[in-house]
Amino acid sequence: MSNYRADFPILQQKVNDEPLVYLDNAATAQKPKAVVEALEYYYYHDNANVHRGVHTLAERATEQFEAVRQKVANFINAPSSQEIVYTKGTTEALNWVAASYGATHVKAGDEIVISYMEHHSNLVPWQQLAQKTGAVLKYIDFTATGELDLNSAEQQITDKTAIVALTQASNVLGVINPIKQVAALAHQHGAIMVVDGAQSTPHIKVDVQALDADFYAFSGHKLMAPTGIGILWGKSELLADMPPLEFGGEMIDWVQLQKTTFKAAPWKFEGGTQNIAGVIGLGAAIDYLSAIGMDRIAAHERQLVDYLLPALLEIPGVTVYGPHDPAKHTGVISFNLDNLHPHDVATALDMEGVAVRAGHHCAQPLMEHLKVAATVRASLYLYNNLEDAQRLVKALKATKEFFNHGTV
């Protein structure tokens, strides 16, 4: 897929006098020219508020804004575009489920089950809900190889469980979780299944119906769309049962002095002026990814992992967290080098033009479970190539040699 690199001008630059190798895709993805041009076209030709005007610009903006719902529905195989709610991102989407559905369906003594590998966005909202309602927050463990422990899931999910919330792909361990199996287990006990799709939607083909999820959330900026736009998908009957959380223009049906009625979902959740340009950019990003094909993207990333994961494991002093089998790994690889602080490693790599992430990755309970303070994280996407992976390995070896004043 090296020919797609030309679509990303940001990659054609040098950092610290070295060609840029961008390996921080789990944090945010770069934007192709098609997405930037879609934003530019909207602002130059169609800029108007949606749903509020009958003039030509407003009608064109509204048509584009609503058309993206169908694109999203097709992209994740949702039954209806009216199950697609625009949010700021995964974080807001998960918070809405916790604060709206959770607040009206969870009571004292109920259980909320998540896992140790959750991002804070899929942990703190449930923690707060448990504290407010008196529910019990429980955790599914993972195996020694970094995979979700289904035996632990069977033990933690009981007839008291109201909500099970899991990431589809870990932003640290680089593993795809068996959502369909856990959803079946949750439903057997009368619980709903909430899925954090932030790290999976940009990289693999997602089918919310096949997963049998009840809610699914993801962010646009991780799949090449602008920041500040995301999606909450929910089964229509669940969205209909959820009260809105923000009140104001656009989400109302009728306002009287002492009473207000609200629109149906998804519009009842979208109070005020939305991120219209972000929605249009999301549509352009989905068009771009769909033209390439999500299966092709996943296969390309797998080829890179097939090289990179064994190459990292061969470097003395490197500890990789998560599965060591490339077949069980996404393009996210977290590791540490000797006793060096991850920030020092990331800074040294940056001097070689290699951009990676270092820190706790908004997963502090997971770091505690792994008995580390932080890790270095390299994450791949479709515009990365074998040379990028080789540059990382070379730079990591140089970093080790520099700090150890020896040879690799």
Model confidence, pTM = 0.97
Closest listed residue to residue 166, CA positions, set 204, 192, 135: 192
Average of per-residue pLDDT values in the chain: 96
Residue 407 scores a pLDDT above 60: no
Q: Coil, strand, or helix at residue 91?
A: helix
Residue 408 scores a pLDDT above 90: no
Backbone angles phi, psi at 176, to 5 degrees: -95, 125
pLDDT, residue 23, reads 98
At 298, list the tokens.
């996943």
pLDDT, residue 154, reads 98
Residue 106 scores a pLDDT above 60: yes
58 is catalytic: no
What tens digit of pLDDT does each residue of 200-242 get?
999 999 999 999 999 999 999 999 999 999 999 999 999 999 9
pLDDT, residue 405, reads 63
What tens digit of pLDDT does each residue of 49-90 get?
999 789 999 999 999 999 999 999 999 999 999 999 999 999
Class of domain 293-404: alpha beta
305 compared with 403, residue with greater pLDDT = 305
Residues 110 and 97: their CA atoms lie apart, in Å, by: 16
The CA-atom distances, in angstroms, between 374 and each of 127, 284, 360, 370, 377 are 22, 35, 5, 9, 10
377 touches 363 (CB < 8 A): no
Residues 270 and 263: their CA atoms lie apart, in Å, by: 10
> Which residues fall within 8 angstroms of residue 15, CB to CB, at 6 or more apart?
350, 353, 355
What single string gives the DSSP state of each residue in 30-59? ---HHHHHHHHHIIIII---SSS--SHHHH
What tens digit of pLDDT does each residue of 284-339 get?
999 999 999 999 999 999 999 999 999 999 999 999 999 999 999 999 999 999 99
Backbone angles phi, psi at 167, to 5 degrees: -80, 140
Report the percent of the chain where pLDDT is more than 70: 99
> Which residues fall within 8 angstroms of residue 101, CB to CB, at 6 or more apart?
192, 215, 238, 241, 242
Residue 406 scores a pLDDT above 70: no
Residues 29 and 355: their CA atoms lie apart, in Å, by: 12
pLDDT, residue 292, reads 97
Closest listed residue to residue 368, CA positions, set 172, 136, 195: 172
pLDDT, residue 321, reads 97
**What is the Cα 69 distance to its own chain's centre?**
18
Q: Report the run of H or E that residue 227 belongs to, with start and end.
A: none
What tens digit of pLDDT does each residue of 252-275 get?
999 999 999 999 999 999 999 999
Give the pLDDT band (50/70/90) at residue 3. confident
> Amino acid identity of 166?
L
Other Cβ atoms closer than 10 A to 377? 25
Give the pLDDT mean for 162-181.
98
What tens digit of pLDDT does each residue of 351-384 get?
999 999 999 999 999 999 999 999 999 999 999 9
> Bridge partners of 305?
none
Closest listed residue to residue 195, CA positions, set 173, 163, 149: 163
Other Cβ atoms closer than 10 A to 273? 13
Residues 399 and 318: their CA atoms lie apart, in Å, by: 12
> Bridge partners of 1?
none
- Interior angle at CA 52, CA 51 and CA 57, nearest 5: 85
CATH 3.40.640.10 fits 35-291, yes or no: yes
Task: Check whether the bond before 323 is cis (ω within 30° of 0).
Answer: no
Q: Where are the domains of the chain?
A: 35-291, 293-404
Q: Coil, strand, or helix at residue 405?
A: coil
Give the pLDDT band (50/70/90) at residue 2. low
Among 362, 364, 369, 403, the active-site one is 362
